[in-house]
């Protein structure tokens, strides 16, 4: 049996902007998708998905998942007709939109195939393979999700011909709360929508994108200085920029406002937007619990985790 795991992630700054070459900051979280791969006597790939999470997620994403598996195995030149496999997915990362569930599952699967068939793939090769699979979910993904899922840690990421990836070190991990709207978002459609509006309204969108680029450098400095109050204010500003490019949603804005009202240093959507998850910066267990409990009281699922 082959085994592999991939980390979940939170984008702290500049989802969507990152697709267009603006730097972003993301962090792996301490939750993973696990994959087991065994050879079997059937045909092709038999997929068993035991992950817990948003109702309807696996069904909604099934066609994307099967396309992703084909992309991944083709990219690896792994012949599933000659080597039929059974893949079982599990782990403690739930299937919420916006926490890198698709990337984590692809990294885990590639690692498990690599393990079972002794392919000797490096982490970089695993990352590149998972990126190819991510295209099924996001159309033109930035690569930030699979990078966080593969390498872990707090990352500075800039998309380019060769992606610029830098690990950032902060004084100590910081508690966050991730609130799930329960709305399953189609990332591919949301990314395409931003691209269309950017082409239709270039002057307005270019201004927002320039502001987002200025902001992320300030955020990097604030994180490295461990100035968490400033990090929170910049998260709030980044959420406004994401609202301006129309990737927010009613449930997301409700949770963002609720988190701020309960004392979060900052809060914003995270990931593809429209539905999925938001993130609140809540240093210390007490503040984390106050914010998380308030969201649960309103009927939302939450994750209590850390960044950095």
Supply the residues annotated as catalytic: 145
Q: Which residues contact 75 (CB under 8 A, 6 or more apart)?
A: 128, 129, 132, 133
Give the Cα separation of 299 and 204 in Å (integer).
37
Give the Cα separation of 18 and 29 in Å (integer).
19
Let me know if 233 is exposed, middle or buried by CB neighbors in 10 A (0-12, 13-18, 19+): middle
Give the Cα separation of 94 and 52 in Å (integer).
5
Q: Which residues contact 136 (CB under 8 A, 6 or more apart)?
A: 64, 65, 67, 68, 71
Three state DSSP letters for 39-77:
ECCCCCEEEEECCCECCCHHHHCHHHHHHHHHHHHHHHC
Could you say which DSSP state residue 95 is in?
B
Cβ 198 vs Cβ 212: under 8 Å: no
Cβ 279 vs Cβ 100: under 8 Å: no
3-state secondary structure of 234: helix
Backbone angles phi, psi at 132, to 5 degrees: -60, -40
Q: Which residues contact 238 (CB under 8 A, 6 or more apart)?
A: 13, 14, 212, 215, 219, 268
Q: Which residues contact 263 (CB under 8 A, 6 or more apart)?
A: 282, 287, 290, 291
């Amino acid at each position: 049996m082959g085994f592999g795991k991939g980390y979940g992630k939170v984008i702290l700054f500049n989802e969507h902007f990152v697709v267009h070459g603006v730097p972003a900051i993301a962090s792996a979280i301490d939750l993973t998708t696990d994959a087991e791969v065994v050879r079997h006597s059937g045909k092709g790939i038999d997929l068993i998905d035991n992950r817990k999470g948003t109702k309807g997620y696996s069904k909604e994403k099934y066609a994307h998942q099967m396309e992703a598996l084909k992309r991944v195995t083709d990219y690896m030149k792994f012949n599933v007709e000659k080597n039929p496999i059974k893949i079982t997915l599990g782990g403690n990362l739930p299937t919420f939109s916006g926490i890198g569930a698709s990337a984590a599952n692809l990294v885990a699967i590639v690692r498990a195939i690599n393990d079972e068939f002794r392919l000797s793939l490096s982490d970089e090769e695993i990352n590149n393979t998972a990126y190819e699979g991510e295209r099924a979910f996001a159309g033109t993904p930035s690569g930030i999700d699979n990078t966080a899922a593969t390498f872990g840690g707090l990352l500075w990421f800039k998309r380019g011909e060769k992606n610029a990836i830098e690990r950032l070190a902060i004084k100590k991990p910081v508690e966050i709360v991730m609130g799930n709207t329960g709305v399953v978002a189609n990332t591919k459609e949301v990314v395409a929508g931003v691209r269309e509006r950017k082409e239709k309204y270039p002057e307005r969108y270019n201004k927002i994108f320039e502001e987002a680029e200025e902001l992320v450098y300030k955020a990097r400095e604030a994180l490295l200085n461990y100035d968490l109050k400033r990090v929170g204010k910049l998260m709030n500003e980044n959420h406004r920029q994401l609202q301006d490019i129309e990737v927010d949603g009613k449930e997301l804005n409700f949770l963002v406002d609720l988190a701020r009202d309960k004392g979060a240093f900052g809060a914003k959507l995270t990931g593809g937007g429209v539905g999925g998850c938001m993130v609140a910066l809540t240093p210390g267990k007490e503040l984390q619990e106050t914010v998380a409990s308030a969201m649960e009281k309103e009927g939302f699922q939450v994750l209590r985790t850390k960044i950095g």
